[in-house]
Structure 1
């Protein structure tokens, strides 16, 4: 609304997203909002980043991941000096190690933005302090409760004992009440592959998305899930942030989330736009010490939590990413 369409002054707004999937979704939604105007909105692809001539390519709003825009600035001499609006989506993720240097380069290249905006469902104080160091006249807007989940999501904790117990529990759940579309989150790409092979034997229309897939495979996995051709999508946290799938009924945390923030983002894929949703989190003996972190989120959003969980001691350690036994029950030849 603030940018005037049809300007030939170069890129005037940059939106940074942590994943390619979220960048593509953001571009698509921006084009919907700008329909009927002369806005040029582009997502920064690998080819465009490496050899794009941005002086000849009309672009008002550029959407990118941190790495690609850094490559474009270095190889294509991308000029961001006229940027008026710099937007960091999933800002706390972008300020994590691995991203922060790239973000710093972008902030410096946008030498005179009128407004810098940060968006996220979770924003710890450390990120707020960092944001204040690069922003002027800061205003914080919170919709709902800070760092909390939607009250429209029914949240459950299910004790499964062991890795074998998880597989039994998800198979039993699907056999009794498969209500697609369903998102299943696991800890790593190796575990995503294993669980996909297990569910492939159950005649469930399942698919998987992880970082080892190429761009086309990842896009197909997302598109098939959106179109209803896939009922169950097994995923790592690569799609836990910001991705908007219409009508997801249930999120299953097959592997316990590594933090309260990861939990909030994962289950936030359901219960969107006024719809109700369900989130089921499996936990084993080794996950028990970290239950308190998730239980606090559940209680804050109005869910009933057993008192023994709330009485667990608080942990200073925020991240929980243990080594887990293999999911696969298949013979090695079949698993390969």
Structure 2
């Protein structure tokens, strides 16, 4: 199938052609026709399969036709994080560049006045995180009675983050006759219950993505007791002179800024990369990384997606990702172009369920390592067996392993200081 065979609106087809795309990915080839038919849809697909375009293109096709009069959005896309919302908004801009429409983002951490101005005017499409949207909804700032299409992107992650009630409340504020598209990487019992409440006779699509073996990457896990323990281990590991450059992944943009500033204050050449930075700031940071002026890049998942820099010798998961495919994506930033790499992950007792997902997804059990003098006192509980803290349950895989002094084969001296420092980044106002 080609995009031309989908009989899309001429403006959308033109935008797709300008992007250089001729053939849809498997998830796009299956999901777009189903969505265009008007049926509700449950699509199970991993990150990196092209799922964003799989719902944005049908959404834009709907907006290319006249809709009912009003101010509220005709299309509402819910995402779990600001970073993902920015990625979705970028796709709207890319594929809708030749359409006459108005769209915007309603996410936490952004200025309220800009969002209030957006909602006071007619808008066709809104990309939102549940928490901030609920805030506007309860204050009467947004009317969802005109919603024709509701999209839940990475719905499993929204449930993991505790947004179940918020999603239900938002869906209840939209018309019952709406079309609903649900995209998720996993389909467990909570997800099935959510789908049962919000969707009507949905079509079902499941697209599996090829798993990378990452044979060239040495993977290690370190059990951590608390945030202070994490920082002590990170500072020790970064003393290893075998680290040419490393990407350190954090869960939030605020944590990325804080951690990068901490490393810079310790005399290390560090910088942050996240979704609140302007495009110019991101470009400068990546240029400095490629030129070797930045040795330690502290990044969030979405900001680092697609990075292809051959000099990355180490990846450190300061925060373990909740989604297994994010773990595979993260560690794949090292060991590129025939080189070997090292991937180190910090795991807390609260991360046991996420570790289990990673092991099930990759089919691998990564050995635990300890650092002499920084041994943990906690143990990992077995998910679902009642263990939920230090000293409870048992570890769900072989622990112990070889004791390592640093991030590489042996302990080295302190990393050299550099003038390339951390800069406070500008925030996007979108």
TM-score normalized by the length of structure 1: 0.67
Using the alignment, how far apart are the partners of 1:293 and 1:96 within structure 2? Answer: 10
The runs of at least 4 aligned residues of structure 1 exceeding 6 Å deviation read: 186-192, 275-279, 289-293, 318-322
Instruction: Select which of 339, 344, 352 maps to 1:281.
Output: 344
Give yes or no for contact 1:88–1:117 (8 Å, CA) kept in 2.
Answer: yes
Using the alignment, how far apart are the partners of 2:187 and 2:169 within structure 1? Answer: 21
Alpha-carbon distance change, 203 to 229 in structure 1, aligned in 2, over 3 angstroms = farther
Measured against aligned partners, the alpha-carbon deviations of 1:62-87 in whole angstroms (never above 9, x if no partner) come to 11121332233333442222212111
Give yes or no for contact 1:43–1:64 (8 Å, CA) kept in 2.
Answer: yes
CA offset at residue 167 of structure 1? 2.6
Give yes or no for contact 2:381–2:388 (8 Å, CA) kept in 1.
Answer: no
Using the alignment, how far apart are the partners of 1:283 and 1:270 within structure 2? Answer: 13
Instruction: Select which of 25, 28, 33 maps to 2:87.
Output: 25
| 1:178 aligned partner | 244
CA offset at residue 118 of structure 1? 2.1
Using the alignment, how far apart are the partners of 2:122 and 2:387 within structure 1? Answer: 43
Give yes or no for contact 1:196–1:206 (8 Å, CA) kept in 2.
Answer: yes
CA offset at residue 299 of structure 1? 6.5
| 2:199 aligned partner | 135
| 1:268 aligned partner | 329
| Aligned positions of 1:307-326 closer than 5 A | 314-316=382-384
Instruction: Select which of 31, 47, 53 maps to 2:113.
Output: 47
Instruction: Select which of 307, 310, 318 maps to 1:247.
Output: 307
Give yes or no for contact 2:331–2:343 (8 Å, CA) kept in 1.
Answer: no
CA offset at residue 158 of structure 1? 2.3
TM-score normalized by the length of structure 2: 0.54
Using the alignment, how far apart are the partners of 2:342 and 2:179 within structure 1? Answer: 36
Alpha-carbon distance change, 113 to 170 in structure 1, aligned in 2, over 3 angstroms = farther
Computed over aligned residues only, the root mean square deviation of the Cα atoms, in angstroms, reads 4.4
| 1:325 aligned partner | none
Size of the aligned set, in residue pairs, is: 294
CA offset at residue 144 of structure 1? 1.5
Using the alignment, how far apart are the partners of 1:79 and 1:141 within structure 2? Answer: 31
| Aligned positions of 1:6-21 closer than 5 A | 7=66, 9=68, 10=70, 11-21=73-83
Measured against aligned partners, the alpha-carbon deviations of 1:96-147 in whole angstroms (never above 9, x if no partner) come to 46422322221011113542122233443322222222211133322226xx
Instruction: Select which of 27, 40, 62 maps to 1:3.
Output: 62
Using the alignment, how far apart are the partners of 2:115 and 2:329 within structure 1? Answer: 31
1:294 aligns to 2:355 (yes or no)? yes
In the alignment, structure 1 segments of 5+ residues that lack a partner are: 210-217, 323-336
Using the alignment, how far apart are the partners of 2:315 and 2:63 within structure 1? Answer: 44
